Structures are given as C-alpha cells and as structure tokens.
Amino acid sequence: MGSLTDRVALITGAGLGIGRGIARRYAAEGAAIVVAERDVAAGERCVADLGREFGARAEFIATDVGVKEQVLAAVELAASRFGRLDVLVNNAWGGGAIGRVEKKSDAQMEHGIRVGLMSAFWAMQAAFPHMQRRGWGRIVNICSLNGVNAHMGTLEYNTAKEAQRALTRTAAREWARYGICANVICPAAATTAYAAFFKANPETASAMAAANPMGRMGDPEKDIAGVALFLASEDCRYLTGNTLFVDGGSHINGVAWAPELPD
C-alpha cells in the first residue's frame, strides 16, 4: 500500500520536467493520475510510462492552461473517469521571453497572468467541490524563486507566481475547515526550461548552479517530487498555507540572476 493508494491526482504540465517527476512519484505511491499537458506527444508518453513502469491508472488530456474551458475539462475528466479528485498540482507554465520591465507588452503580461495565475484559480475553483464533499484535499502549487527574489527579465512570470502564492494562502485560510491543505513549492530544478536557458546563457546558468549551497540544480523526480508527495499525503494534514523552498538552500542568501538585458 502506497501513501497515495486510492487517491486521484490531476497534474498540469505533467509531460515534462517537474510535473513529470511528480506524476512518477505519485504513481509509484499508488495514485491514479490525470496528465494535463499541452504537448500531446509528451503527455501521451508520460501516461504510457506510468502504466508500464508502475501499473498506474492514468489518463491524458490535451490542456492549454491558458484556456479556461480546457482547465475545467481536465478537472471533469478526473472526476468522471476516477470518480473523485483528491490532489491538484498546478505546475504548467507557458513560457515567455526575457526582457526589461519597460519593454514588456500588455500581451506578455496578460499571457503570464492567464497561465501563471488564472489557470490555478480556475482549477482550484473546479476542484473545490470534489474535495469539500469528501472533507479531504491537497493542493500543491508550483511557484518560483524568480518572484520571491525579483529576478531580472521575467516580470510576467514573477508577477504571476507571486500572485499564485497569495491565491494559495487565501484558499488555505478559507478551505482549512474542509480538510483541504494548500501549499506552495518554490523549486530549483534542472528542467527542460532550465536546459534551454543554460544553452542560451551558459555563464549565468553556471554561476547560478555554483552559487547554490549544494552546488547543483535539483533533479525533478529525485529532489522535488518527494516534497510534492509529502504535501499530497495524509502526513500533510496540519500543514497549510506554506511555501517550501526546495532549492538546495538557494533562497537563504539569494542566487544571482542577472542575464544580459538589451537596453
């Protein structure tokens, strides 16, 4: 019996990186998984792997989290296919270009808010009645040190993720009486997005890793997903409204994030 046996988890952006790592850890602990992913090939591959490696019940649904109807459809799939929804992980992000505050467009900011804040809001609202009805629920929102430390060049991402932290704390306060715990992870992980950044900015990325007290970026499955597993479990019954920095200690003194930004 795993710690998530008979639980049902919906994970956005589960085809790659941290989302995939969390899906694998949850599946290994007995959860049924709904993989909500925009990249169809990655999502279908993740579901196939969960079934083959862990014998997990898993479903894929193509989901652009910037589209409300698709987010609601993912929640409905979990409830209709498995009869319940116990754990919601808001992890997906839609990408963005690095640039100075004064260069950011309305479209960039609106995109960031939709995929980084509104998507979590929509999913949480839709998941709430399923969790409330059972008197048990876990919400794990993946935010970022970028927002906490106000890293340069990523305004829309920073803004959306800090707003998502406020959303999480407010929901934690209001929903605690229903047995719903809502928490945030701010990770430092070697994800697909990090690999792309490293390729484009090798010196900055190397400096970031070197400044980490543990001297490396985390592994999505081995270093990040275990904390997400705890936050989804019964052991998290008295922890809510918190932000856990799963970052090798990067948050202690801050990690340099100073890419070259054109004037």
Beta-strand relationship, 58-62 and 32-37: parallel
Q: Among residues 157, 178, 194, 238, which one is catalytic?
A: 157
What count of residues does the chain have? 263
Q: Which of 85-99, 221-235, 246-260 has the highest mean pLDDT?
A: 221-235
Structure tokens that stand for 207 in this block: 């400096």
pLDDT, residue 262, reads 74
Q: Which helix (H) or strand (E) segment is 206 a member of?
A: helix 202-211
Query: What's the pLDDT tens digit per position in 118-161?
Result: 999 999 999 999 999 999 999 999 999 999 998 899 999 999 99
Q: Which helix (H) or strand (E) segment is 34 a member of?
A: strand 32-37
Query: What's the pLDDT tens digit per position in 39-70?
Result: 999 999 999 999 999 999 999 999 999 999 99
pLDDT tier, 255 (very low <50, low <70, confident <90, very high otherwise): low
Distances (CA, A) of 240 to 12, 29, 58, 170: 21, 22, 27, 10
Return mean pLDDT, the chain.
Answer: 93
Q: Is the pLDDT of residue 207 over 80?
A: no
pLDDT, residue 256, reads 62
CB 228 within 8 A of CB 239: no
pLDDT, residue 30, reads 98
Backbone angles phi, psi at 194, to 5 degrees: -65, -40
- Is 26 one of the catalytic residues? no
CB 100 within 8 A of CB 156: no
The structure tokens 């932000």 sit at 243
pLDDT, residue 133, reads 97
The single-letter DSSP state of residue 235 is: G
